Amino acid sequence: MAEEKGLKKAVKLKSELATFLGEKELPRTEITKKLWDYIKKNKLQTKSVNGKPENAGKYIVADSKLLTIFKNTKSKSKSGKLTDLTQMKEGQTIDMMQMAAVVGANVE
């Protein structure tokens, strides 16, 4: 079988993400899917910045488990926008569009 490339290629997970997902290596697509499964199962979405979880909306509410992963995130996008979640606190939110930065910051 040909080696997977791009988003389907397995990447090594940093320790917090590996602990959270119970895996050492996964493709980025699977990492994102598993994170979303957790977010939906635990109703960690809201329609407003730092809003209360309401199981819908474009913002993700950090619980204690997600926070360990989110706090690893400090990266610049190609457009130069900084995503720095290192000072984030439980109950605060990220925009769902920041998930790619979170995943990127938690893989090697």
What are the extents of the domains in the chain?
Answer: 9-105
Question: Over its length of 108 residues, how does the chain's per-residue pLDDT go in tens digits?
Answer: 556 677 688 999 999 999 999 999 999 999 999 999 999 999 999 999 999 888 889 999 999 999 999 999 998 888 888 999 999 999 999 999 999 999 999 999
pLDDT at 8: 82
C-alpha 25/C-alpha 66 separation (Å) is: 18
With CA atoms as reference, report the closest residue to 91 among 31, 46, 40: 46
Judge whether 88 and 64 are in contact, CB under 8 Å: no
The answer to whether the beta carbons of residues 12 and 24 sit under 8 Å apart is yes
- CATH class of segment(s) 9-105: mainly alpha
pLDDT, residue 104, reads 93
Q: Quick one: pLDDT at residue 79?
A: 87
For residues 11 and 25, what is the distance between their CA atoms, to the nearest angstrom?
Answer: 5
Amino acid at 70: F
pLDDT of residue 53: 87
Sign of dihedral through CA atoms 12, 18, 23, 28?
negative
Type and span of the H or E element at 30: helix 28-41
Q: pLDDT tens-digit profile of 22-35? A: 999 999 999 999 99
